[in-house]
A and B are shown apart, each in its own frame.
Chain A
Amino acid sequence: MAEIILKNVSKVYDNSVTAVRDVNLEIKDHEFMVLVGPSGCGKSTTLRMIAGLEDISSGTISVADKIVNDVQPKDRNLAMVFQNYALYPHMTVYENMAFGLKLRHFPKNEIDARVKEAAATLGLEPYLDRYPKALSGGQRQRVAVGRAIVRKPAAFLFDEPLSNLDAKMRVQMRTEVSLLHKKLGTTMIYVTHDQVEAMTMGSRICVMKDGEVQQIDTPLAIYDSPCNLFVAGFIGMPPMNFFDGTVENKDGSFFFVGKAFSFPLIKPEWKDKLAAAVGRKVVFGVRPEDIGSPSAMLVKDAPTLSGSLKVKEPMGAETYLYLDDTAAERFIAKVDPHMVAEVGQSMTLPVNPAKVHVFDAESTNLIV
């Protein structure tokens, strides 16, 4: 068990490309921290620096209160699960899982006990004598996880471990990894570009972009209060709808005034921040599930958004409506699947006014 702390960690490659810039991250003991972001955001590089597979250009990384900047990967007591499984093809499942223990000179009976225990946990017992080529993708990934857990490391590092699996297997393995975390209670750092994985698995999420940390918080806190436009757009599927406009004060009430509509910003605690933003260019954000959804319908005298329905995507449990407002700004509403809506029809949908966001257009930071 270990706490992992990154202080001002940066990574600059020889060609002067900065992959990670000044990252500060505190991963608590037993925590499941998810690093999420688009390709090239530096999340894998950060993980690899923690693992010791990449040198650090500046800053410090400590594992269990010990600075490990110059410590070899094998001496950091961390285990890593790779995106492409990285199983040794010439070794059986048993040998793959036992390899790390053999190298650490564990007694044979201890190796055997640990491998069999891990195999039982992961449902790999019937496959111990097989070679990786005779396993399915999901089984291979389980072996990779098994190879990590037999060592009982201080922390697990997962580098996009599910991205090579098909959608169904991904959902299944997602649950298994979460259950494994609950069972072992070991610190886990999990890198993914899939925000659904991040939301569903992480105790906390660290959203990264262009090598910088954007926001670190619990999944719901990030979802409800994204700190900037990038986080708001990245977390959530379908993504948040954005509209350009300004904040205006009309007789003490604040409104977002866009190209096609104006929208009341009603929460009393927003007033001070909105007053400072009057006249500035802002971006108004509202999530699809807060437009025309059953919960939005329940809000009394809810303000509305109108648009012409362009595309309708029935998903089963809900339906996505793609609408264009009068200024041809496209927005998405996530509505009840039984709502009557025909393509081409003009629709007016209620919006939950407590769930909207306003971002500064220049700095992209959240105003309210």
Chain B
Amino acid sequence: MNTIHYVLIALFGAYFVMRFLIPTSVFPRKIKVSRAYLAAIFLILAAALVITPFVWLVCNVFKDQSVLMKYSFLPPISEWSSQTLNFTNFTKLFQGEESPQGTVYFWQYIINSIFLACAGTSISLFLTSLSGYALAKYKFKGRGFLIFFMAGSMMFPAMLFLAPLYQIIYKIHWMDSYLSLLIPNACAVFGIFLFRQAMQGVPNSLVEAARMDGASEFRIYWNVMMPLVRPMTGAYCLITFLGNWNNFLSPQLYIQTHAKLTLPVILNQYLGLYLNEYGVFLAGTLLAIIPPAILFFALQKEFVAGLTTGATKG
């Protein structure tokens, strides 16, 4: 722990004692005001703590390899020059690297990652919401058992299935194919349950009204159900996109062709036994943050609403 940590802990402790342990009525007005200031200071410091690594990352991607370890953030302004601050890391990142399949450029990995994250999210969104709809709105024999079985399967850690999954993928010749990345996670039980819960909150009479109106079962799902669980859809999109975007293990295991690799795998290769390109690694990391950040801001409203759906009446 460094000094900042001690200061933050002290501030938080003081705030906690004043906020929760001492009854409000004993405070004179001045203390009440100062308590509000204290809360503001605490929140500003907490926000600074959260944003610091990001600022550190942005500073370091523009630093030359020669001064990378010399300063925590940027060098003093007096030392700013093209020797200390430049785009070398990005140039190196995009210059391409040799592989058995020829030169592969960094943008190829970005495209791979974007494709896999988008395709994985789309497939998963469609299948999990469809399954959730069926479990929420259809009565069929064995439904209870199916739900129990699926809920039970969530209790096993994913690592447990790694070996059998590898064997299955190997036997059905999906090695080095994107199917091995897209299909096993296409219908996540977690997603099915999320959608089931959200769709259970939609009154049955809406489904019945649509049925009377002449809607087919798929149209009811698509035109009535999905718009009504939009907050959940936004939240699930973001969660799944991030999961796919950051997926390291599966591409590492199943993909062998260099040109098919994804960002997390390739970024990891910059920090290895024989290569320690921290600057290039950080430049890649910065670029890797951008797509999920864009998606987050685009879906922020849906995402926050999704997390609070059902929390309050009406």
Give residues in A with beta carbon < 8 Å to B. Answer: 51-53, 72-74, 78-80, 82-84, 86-90, 99-100, 103-104, 147, 151
Do residues A51 and B227 form an inter-chain contact, with CB atoms below 8 A?
A: no
Q: 1/0 per residue B204-224: CB within 8 Å of A?
A: 011011111111000100011
The answer, among B205, B214, B230, for a CB contact under 8 Å with A83, is B205
- Contact yes or no, B209 A103, CB < 8 A: no
Are B212 and A103 closer than 8 Å at their CB atoms? no
- 10 example contacts (A-B, Cβ-Cβ < 8 A) are as follows A51-B212, A73-B212, A82-B209, A86-B203, A88-B206, A90-B227, A90-B228, A90-B230, A104-B214, A147-B213
Identify which of B203, B209, B227 gathers the most chain A CB atoms within 10 Å of its CB.
Answer: B209
Complex CA–CA separation, A90 to B222 (angstroms): 13
Complex CA gap A100/B208 in Å reads: 12
Let me know if B209 and A74 touch, CB within 8 A: no
The CA of A99 and the CA of B216, in the complex, are separated in Å by 12
A-B contact count (CB 8 A): 55
Q: Contacts of B208 on A, CB cut-off 8 Å?
A: 51, 53, 73, 80, 82, 86
Interchain CA distance A73-B211 in the complex, whole Å? 6
Residues of chain B lying within 8 A (CB to CB) of residue A86: 203, 205-206, 208-209
Contact A84 B205, beta carbon cutoff 8 Å:
yes
The 8 closest A-B pairs by CB, nearest first: A100-B213, A86-B209, A86-B205, A74-B214, A103-B214, A90-B227, A82-B205, A80-B212
Chain B positions within 8 Å of A84 at CB level: 203, 205
Check B203–A78 contact: CB distance below 8 A.
no
Question: Which of B212, B224, B228, B230 meets A74, CB within 8 Å?
Answer: B212
Chain A neighbourhood of B227, CB < 8 A: 90
Closest B residue to A89 by CB, please name it.
Answer: B228
Interface pair A103/B215, CB less than 8 Å apart? yes
Determine the chain A residues whose CB is within 8 A of the CB of B205 once the complex forms.
82-84, 86
Residues of B within 8 A of A53 (CB): 208, 211-212
B209 to A, closest residue via Cβ: A86
Task: Kindly provide the distance from the CB of B312 to the nearest chain A CB, expressed in whole angstroms.
Answer: 15
| B213 lies within 8 A of A99 (CB) | yes
Is A79 a contact of B212 with CB atoms below 8 Å?
yes
Residues of B close to A100: CB separation below 8 A: 212-214
Once the chains are docked, how many angstroms separate the CA of A52 from the CA of B210? 13
Q: Which residues of chain B in 181-231 are interfacial with respect to chain A, using CB atoms and an 8 Å cutoff?
A: 203, 205-206, 208-215, 219, 223-224, 227-228, 230
